[in-house]
Amino acid sequence: MNLTHLDEQNKPKMVDVGDKDLTVRTATASGTIEMTPEAYEAVVSNTAKKGPVLQTAVIAAIQGAKQTSTLIPMCHPLMLTSIKTEIEELPELPGFRLRVTAKLNGQTGVEMEALTAVSVGLLTIYDMLKAIDKGMVIRNVQLEKKSGGKSGDFRR
């Protein structure tokens, strides 16, 4: 198997996607954050001292998707056409599930943008609640599905 991010001299390189066809590409990723009942209540009652936790996490997730190429060395800067977020309350954990779908019409996929968005959004929730609960756990950051491109569709 040839590694696409290494050149003939085994040096790192960014893959040339210039000859690939433009296609609509989407990717959806998700992850959860578990916390104490006290931290969960601060979020759902909107009483966290740092402000509106979930709204801030959504903005952070969007920003994370847009900044992926500055964080992940071999990712191409992309012109994203859509970033959709969904946060689900999970009182039984207690905690939250963040799901992000990234979309573009381009020559490379958006899996890394969706995964980065979820990671940054969940880390933002952690940051905003760490005064209440330093033991929060971020779990199961994963690609749920993707479509478009030469490799086709994927669904977990």
152: in domain: no
Q: Is the pLDDT of residue 27 over 70?
A: yes
Fill in the DSSP letter of residue 75: P
Edge-to-edge, what's the strand order for the sheet holding 23-34?
82-90, 95-106, 23-34, 137-147, 154-155
CB atoms inside a 10 Å sphere around CB 7: 9
Beta bridge partners of 26: 103, 147
The answer as to whether 7 is a domain residue is no
In a domain, 107, yes or no: yes
- Whether the full predicted model's pTM is greater than 0.85, yes or no, is yes
Domain count, the chain: 1
pLDDT per residue as tens digits for the range 99-136: 999 999 988 889 999 999 999 999 999 999 999 999 99
CATH number assigned to the domain comprising residue 113: 3.30.70.640
The sign one gets for the Cα dihedral 63, 65, 70, 71 is: positive
For residue 41, pLDDT beyond 80: yes
Q: Is residue 154 part of a domain?
A: no
pLDDT of 75 reads 92
Residue type, 111: E
- Show which residues are catalytic: 127
> How far apart are the C-alpha atoms of 124 and 57, rounded to whole Å?
6
Could you tell me if residue 49 is inside a domain? yes
Domain that holds residue 86: 23-146
How far, in Å, CA of 73 to CA of 87, rounded?
Answer: 28
Q: Quickly count helices (H) and strands (E) in the chain.
A: 4, 5
Residue 81 belongs to a domain: yes
Is 95 a member of any domain? yes
Determine, yes or no, domain membership for 87.
Answer: yes
